[in-house]
Chain A
Amino acid sequence: MTSGFGESTRASAPSPSCSGNSSNDAGDFECNICFDLAQDPVITLCGHLFCWPCLYRWLHHHSHSQECPVCKALVQEEKLVPLYGRGKTQTDPRTKLYPGMEIPHRPSGQRPQTMPPPPPPEVNPFGSYGFGLMGGFIPMATARFGNFTLSTAFGGFIPSLLNIHFHGFQDATVYGTTSGYPFGFNGFHGGNARGFMQATGQVQRQEDNVLKNLLMLIGFLVLLTVIFVW
């Protein structure tokens, strides 16, 4: 009895020499079949690590179906991912796990496409065009308002004149001066000045600012129309 226990104690001593795993952390890279450091490691889609020879032997010689030896998930050889460490590939046939057994090379990794190169910095093609457009608008507006202030119109036809101006028709009508709306004329003139100044002040080369200026101009025109109608 005593000698038996002693023998078992001595028997456990040589165990460390059989494997190079001296700490528990090494278990993270041990094959799930041979419980040793993985040789030619491959990893399945379910995340389990095996030696390629161990897994090949299980899938092709012993298993009744293509199942993961740990969790029985479906294993497809084309979806196995090999792990390439810094160690050299062992070509010595004496170190093979299963000598005398023909095992093909493990599946190769699937390398995804590289990232496309970043696009070159964008040149703003709308800056000059927008600026030109803005410049074009200002003189037209000035001319129209000038004609309007200089012209004399019959009270009843003022909306028609304004409508004609908005549609771009030439000023071909001349009417007599009406003394009934002096205050109204002054109001229009003031509004015109303020709108013009705002448009001028916010002219910039950026597309967003150009859009903002255009919208403000349209808004001003709408306000002018509303005031005139009332």
Chain B
Amino acid sequence: MAEKHNIKNPAVKRILQEVKEMQSNPSDDYMSLPLEENIFEWQFAIRGPRDTEFEGGIYHGRIQLPSEYPFKPPSFMLLTPSGRFETQTKICLSISNHHPEHWQPSWSVRTALVALIAFMPTNPNGALGSLNYKKEDRCALATKSQEAPPKFGTPERQRLIDEIHEYMLSKSSPLPQLAPSQASEEQSKTEEAKAQVNLENPEALPVGAEIPDQAGDRIVEEQELPVNANPNPAGVEASMESSSSVSSNQLLQKSDARVQNLKPDTRVQKPDDRLFTLAAIGLAIAIVVLLLKKFIKSTEYGAVFMDES
């Protein structure tokens, strides 16, 4: 793949870096791959968040990255009907090119997909490209989305869509809502997918053995967002900020802070000097009082002397 693209282009370098990260740290909640012929065209699929009407759904979509990526935001278009976003239409989100002023170059396709999963249960509020179907209709669409991937684009793109769909099916867990016959069909599909994976990539097994630890940690972290009942864009940004603040805190902890060591002699001397000063003042006051007393007594004695004479 690298030989076909201009490595010197910073956008291409960045996209290749993202592809590498996505493949080395796969997730069960989303899958994304670029086209062979054009690395700026991606196909993705996300899983509906749990405990929502979208649970069990596999929603395919298309991402178009701009030539100035990551300084400009990408555009997103869903291909599977969901009841939340229109199909074949670019959707309006704070992470899409409808609002370039909200885009952050540190965001990536991965963060965008996590945000998209978090946006599904939210209220559309009439945003461009959004729909507001009833809950029952959304559940029906979610169930239907597993049966077959959507038909879209060139044969190469369709192959990519089918590949992603198989991956998502292999990672999904059987749902109690499904009918027994559909459940058995899903299981058979899963087995076929696993067999194909084993046949095509025998070497992938040991690599897979190493990955579970990292994947487990990552899944735990990433699943926090879909679990939220009503996540909102601010929540998504807040989570990003919190993660960045955590990393910055770690940096601060690692750095060595210089603490000036005060001289113990200086510290010890000050209280002693103060004590001596107070003692001296007290003694001076006592002396003055005693002198006054003696003065009074001497006057009395003088009077007595006069009386005697």
Contacts and interface: CB of A to CB of B under 8 A. Distances in A.
8 contacts: A4-B160, A4-B163, A33-B71, A34-B14, A36-B13, A54-B105, A70-B240, A97-B10
Contacts of A156: 301, 304-305
A4 B43 CA distance: 14
Interface of B: 1-3, 7-8, 10, 13-14, 16-21, 23, 33, 36, 68, 70-72, 101, 104-106, 108, 156, 159-160, 162-163, 196, 200-201, 240-241, 244-245, 247-248, 251-252, 269, 272, 276, 279-280, 283, 286-287, 290-291, 293-295, 297-298, 301, 304-305
A229 B10 contact: no
A11 B101 contact: no
A4 B200 CA distance: 11
A107 interface: no
A15 B16 CA distance: 7
Contacts of A226: 290
Contacts of B286: 222
Given A4-B159, A5-B200, A18-B16, A211 B244 contact: no
B1 A70 contact: no
Contacts of A222: 283, 286-287, 290
A69 interface: yes
Contact of B293 (A1, A16, A98, A229): A229
A219 interface: yes
Interface residues of A, number: 56
B283 A35 contact: no
B247 A47 contact: yes
Given A47-B248, A62-B71, A212-B276, A18 B3 contact: no
B294 A163 contact: yes
Interface in A180-225: 208, 211-212, 214-215, 218-219, 221-222, 225
A93 B131 CA distance: 51
Nearest to A34: B14
B1 A14 contact: yes
A19 B104 CA distance: 23
Contact of B72 (A62, A99, A211): A62
Contacts of A98: 10
A113 interface: no
A89 interface: no
B105 A229 contact: no
Given A35-B17, A156-B301, A69 B106 contact: yes
A97 B72 CA distance: 17
Contacts of A7: 36
Contact of B272 (A4, A15, A208): A208
Interface in A12-47: 12, 14-19, 32-36, 46-47
B37 to A, nearest CB: 11
B283 A218 contact: yes
